[in-house]
Structure 1
Amino acid sequence: MEKSWLKSYDSRVPQTINPDNYSSVVDIFEQSVKTYADSISYINLGKSITFSELEKHVTHFAAYLQNSGLKKGDAVAIMMPNLLQYPVALFGILRAGMVVVNVNPQYTARELKHQINDSNAKAIIIVENFACTLSEVIEDTSIETVLLTRIGDMLGVPKKWLTNFVVKYVKKMVPGYSLPKAIPFMDALKQGANQTYLRPEINGDDIAFLQYTGGTTGVSKGAMLTHRNMVANLEQASAILNTVTEANKELVVTALPLYHIFALQANCLLFLKLGCANLLITNPRDMAGFVSELGKYPFTVLTGVNTLFNGLLNTPSFTELDFSNVKFSLGGGMAVQRAVAERWYKLTGHVLLEGYGLTECSPIVSVNPPQLEQYNGSIGLPLPSTDIRLVDDDGVDVKEGEPGEMLVKGPQVMLGYLNRPEATEEIMKDGWLATGDIARCDENGYFYIVDRKKDMILVSGFNVFPNEIEEVAVMHEDIVEVAAVGIPHEASGEVVKLFAVRRNDNLSEQDVIDHCRKHLTGYKVPKKVEFRDELPKSNVGKILRRELRDEK
């Protein structure tokens, strides 16, 4: 496939990057904490720490890990929301030459047990609020060391004491648990301060992260992301975003959890590399509290998923914020809906940029340029040193403008799935990674996701893509969010069913069907509409169509 996207690159963006510009993520960390020592690195719950303070904590934690019986290459799990403890744990693990295993704090005991044992994690850093889950299964896992922290532990006194007291005894957010051998995280940092840290030799081929797929299309698998993968993707993203960002000048809002690959790369690592401040939001589901926090800081960048932006737009106090410092907003993880993007632009005066990625690609594959003047419905242009093909069911390249499955090649593509050679072989062939997404490319090299291959609805032999139905449905002023799925039908094989959250209880099923009929051809119009108070979502707010489709 001809790289038609290169002609649409900004003149300042190189066509290729050097994935070996740094030997590891640790190199980037060490350079940034030295260069920007006195600048703010992270802010959380009103407390900020500088890059030099971050470096001190990280060194102490790395020393502790190295002296606790763990060795280079061992897997260490992190199970916590966005707190100051997260970057300390993350970079401490990497700096000790070990492998980070990010765990969703909302996991059930069964899910946690699977991920720990699949990754063979030897240690875990966990917030006390979720310790009850670990206590249920720890005896049946590979975990040897438990490091326990509390939400307020790094906030300084007296705020630390007050926060931890309120969380545990007033809000009763800490269920009972039994982990008698657990070591307080802050004690580990104190011990590390008196221990020797020896910098291990870390190269690009070493695994940095075992990042588990969401499991929305099957069993959760550990994508082996090397230091070279992560460095490459940082260099690729930097090449695009450096046309608008300034080193040591930005403040990025991190509402998506850092244990998710999107926020991990696009927020945590990218803005650390730039020497910029990260505002960590611990509980973005509390929209009023989230907006209140935003009002305290002159933020310049905001990343999120469609449901997060939609939630902000539906929070009255959000309209009162000052958006004059914003340089760009970036959406990923799921399709950005036109109705949301247009409302966002009308309120903030800034285009909601859409990007595309997947865990297996570290994760960014493409992004719209920050200079975009209006929302265009595309996932943008492939990053430098990234190649894309669109193929039919026989693996043959489709003609320009036609939809096909998107295959990706580039230095950000994972090493493979941990201990799953068959699954790796199924998704990676001849250096190309099959994304499972159906896309098309226009004459200027902009890619458009048509839909997930597995989510496609087949009505009387016609392919119906859920994204299209959902885009139309949310154009109705009384609809907040929707999900379209296929359900069995005797005559046509499948018909479209729409699950919707409404603003107005007077909105009827027929109202929605009539609205869709105005904008869709007959076979695409939903035959059934079911109203829900909320739709099932993943840990980052991505609507889970599969759960709705699989309901009995």
Structure 2
Amino acid sequence: MIVDDTVGAMLAASLRRGGDRPALRMADAIRTHRELLDHANRFANALRGSGLRPGDPVALMLTDRFESVEAYLGCLIGGFAAVHVNDRWAAREVQAVLADAGARGFVYTDGVGESVSAIDALGDIPAVIAIGEPVAAGHHLWSNFLEAARPVAPDAAGGTDPNDLTIIGYTSGTTGRPKGVVHTQRSLSRTIRHMPVHFEFRPRNRTAFTGTLSFVSGIWGVLLPTLYLGGEVSFMAGLDADEWISRMIQQSSMSTYVPTPLAGDFNEQIHRRPEVLRTLRSVLHSGSQIPPLTLRRTVELIGARMVECYGMTETGAPVTTTEPDDWSADCRADDIYASAGRPMHLADVRIIDRDGAQLPTGETGEISVSSETQFLGYLNDPALTAQTLVDGRIRTGDVGRLDDAGYLYVTDRAKDMILSGGMNVFPAEVESAMVDVPGLQEIAVFGIPHERWGETVVAVAVRTDADLDEAAVIEAARARLASYKKPTSVRFVDALPRTASLKIDKPALRRAWVDLPPEPDKH
């Protein structure tokens, strides 16, 4: 890889071509491509002036702001390794990441000031920069830090080796401490170039971005590819569906992402205002599954614009996707509304048993993938890297199957599988079967130790009907599933705990199970 083919050089060239066209939009405020490039160059040169060198890790704990995007671009243009830090993490978690990554720079927005002020080790980092109000003396103010720096590309930016680090995306760490997923010049450049194919982005695409910078996948999956195409990203996270659709109509948005909790509201708004479909070309979804009936309704409303996919931080780009023809009557999938689509041209997906042997079509096992965009390994953790990357393939820890037509169905996490009396129970299957129980808002299923059966199935639920009791939930499960899969006990809470990435925190539920009060006897 030559220097002109680095991720930073690739994005800088796109920003130069974009010129004075809008690149970022927040409500009525706009940042142009030219302005982004100017500020990103200044940031890269200011880091150099603070003694940092290409390859040095710069940690970024950022909320949704123009300057936050400029910080990522500046790291990539300057050849620094951008260390993504979820802005929802507490001080202890952030401090662990800074130490693990060996951060030489740290940028934070004032919205995370409370966590930052509780971090002990910032004095050892040469450059600490605040976007907004600094929380401590000695922290640079972003505008002052950039003011004296030159707005031109830094000399000898670095990052010329395909294996040089570009972005380290830390996982939320539900199974232990956060893990640093290392992406390189090679994997990140391939991801950015591939995503427009995957999500059907066009040159000068106008993207309604409902995600946030909390999640690194939104940066390399949506933000950077849109800028690479000379397009425009409009930040819409946190808007209700009515305002979201209104802004897409006003801005002639071409693509958006539908979070699962907003899918029903999205459908209602599309039904009311179908004029948004005049420019909307693709609607993306991934992660937690949309209830099949809701997804079917979405497809009825928007047709082949729907794009479902499967991937993870370690794969960079998704490895499976649905295609426009999949939503037609000619689709050969067993159930397209439960599927994550078929493997992409850059990926290979297999189902394996516990020993790593490939299973026949239709059998359920662990999902194993290899991809041109996959990560290099986990930072400072060769043992975990060797456990996850086996013969060049990622053992995802997810459970699923492939049907005869090659469509993937993701059914659960391998570590969440319950072995009860010699029978395998997948919590996601139980949870999916319960989505239409009247009065049941949400349910999390997991296993706890049992003296006779090894493990037994239990559930924690949120209800909208106070008359819905434990017996009714168990009976509803019995009517939908084999008897051995039903919960043997159900506890009710006001809300389910979630991780920083908004997934249900089942380890926390397991720990809290003994302290959750049982349902009082109504008889």
TM-score by length of 1: 0.83
- Specify which of 79, 82, 86 is matched with residue 100 of structure 1: 82
- The one-letter code of the counterpart of 1:76 is V
Is 1:357 aligned with 2:357? no
Distance 1:547 1:340 in 2: 29
- Specify which of 269, 272, 275 is matched with residue 227 of structure 2: 272
- Give the deviation of 1:89 after TM superposition: 0.6
Seen in structure 2, the aligned counterparts of structure 1 residues 193 and 371 have a Cα distance that, compared at 3 Å, is: farther
- In structure 2, the residue matched to 1:255 is 210
- Give the deviation of 1:463 after TM superposition: 0.9
Report SS of the residue matched to 2:326.
Answer: coil
407-416 or 485-494, larger mean C-alpha shift: 485-494
Is 1:68 aligned with 2:50? yes
- In structure 1, the residue matched to 2:180 is 222
- In structure 2, the residue matched to 1:329 is 283
Runs of 4+ in 1 over 6 A off after TM superposition: 19-22, 286-289, 316-319
- In structure 2, the residue matched to 1:236 is 194
The aligned runs of 1:1-400 (5 Å cut-off) are 23-139=5-121, 142-150=124-132, 178-193=135-150, 197-203=154-160, 204-242=162-200, 245-248=201-204, 250-281=205-236, 283=238, 296-309=250-263, 312=265, 320=272, 322=274, 323-324=276-277, 325-345=279-299, 352-373=306-327, 375-400=336-361
- Give the deviation of 1:142 after TM superposition: 4.3
- Give the deviation of 1:353 after TM superposition: 3.1
The aligned runs of 1:397-546 (5 Å cut-off) are 397-546=358-507
Seen in structure 2, the aligned counterparts of structure 1 residues 313 and 33 have a Cα distance that, compared at 3 Å, is: closer
* Cα pair 2:59 2:106 within 8 Å, conserved: yes
* Cα pair 2:463 2:492 within 8 Å, conserved: yes
* Cα pair 1:536 1:543 within 8 Å, conserved: yes
- Give the deviation of 1:427 after TM superposition: 1.0
Distance 1:370 1:230 in 2: 26
Distance 1:526 1:346 in 2: 34
Report SS of the residue matched to 2:465.
Answer: coil
Seen in structure 2, the aligned counterparts of structure 1 residues 317 and 450 have a Cα distance that, compared at 3 Å, is: closer
Seen in structure 2, the aligned counterparts of structure 1 residues 460 and 321 have a Cα distance that, compared at 3 Å, is: farther
* Cα pair 1:389 1:397 within 8 Å, conserved: yes
- Give the deviation of 1:459 after TM superposition: 2.0
Q: Aligned residues, how many?
A: 503
* Cα pair 2:195 2:222 within 8 Å, conserved: no
* Cα pair 1:209 1:224 within 8 Å, conserved: yes
Seen in structure 2, the aligned counterparts of structure 1 residues 46 and 500 have a Cα distance that, compared at 3 Å, is: farther
TM-score by length of 2: 0.88
Give per-residue Cα distances to partners, 1:37-90, cap 9 Å, x unaligned: 232211114311121221122122122122221111111111122221221110
- In structure 2, the residue matched to 1:548 is 509
- The one-letter code of the counterpart of 1:450 is T
- Give the deviation of 1:371 after TM superposition: 4.1
- Give the deviation of 1:307 after TM superposition: 3.5
Distance 1:287 1:479 in 2: 23
Report SS of the residue matched to 1:247.
Answer: coil
* Cα pair 1:351 1:373 within 8 Å, conserved: no
* Cα pair 2:241 2:269 within 8 Å, conserved: no
* Cα pair 1:308 1:541 within 8 Å, conserved: no
- Give the deviation of 1:20 after TM superposition: 9.7
- Give the deviation of 1:317 after TM superposition: 7.0
Seen in structure 2, the aligned counterparts of structure 1 residues 296 and 500 have a Cα distance that, compared at 3 Å, is: farther
Distance 2:123 2:397 in 1: 32
- In structure 2, the residue matched to 1:4 is none
Seen in structure 2, the aligned counterparts of structure 1 residues 542 and 350 have a Cα distance that, compared at 3 Å, is: farther
Report SS of the residue matched to 1:372.
Answer: helix
- In structure 2, the residue matched to 1:6 is none
Distance 2:439 2:9 in 1: 51
* Cα pair 1:135 1:178 within 8 Å, conserved: yes
Seen in structure 2, the aligned counterparts of structure 1 residues 339 and 509 have a Cα distance that, compared at 3 Å, is: farther
Seen in structure 2, the aligned counterparts of structure 1 residues 511 and 440 have a Cα distance that, compared at 3 Å, is: same
- The one-letter code of the counterpart of 1:476 is V
Distance 2:449 2:398 in 1: 23
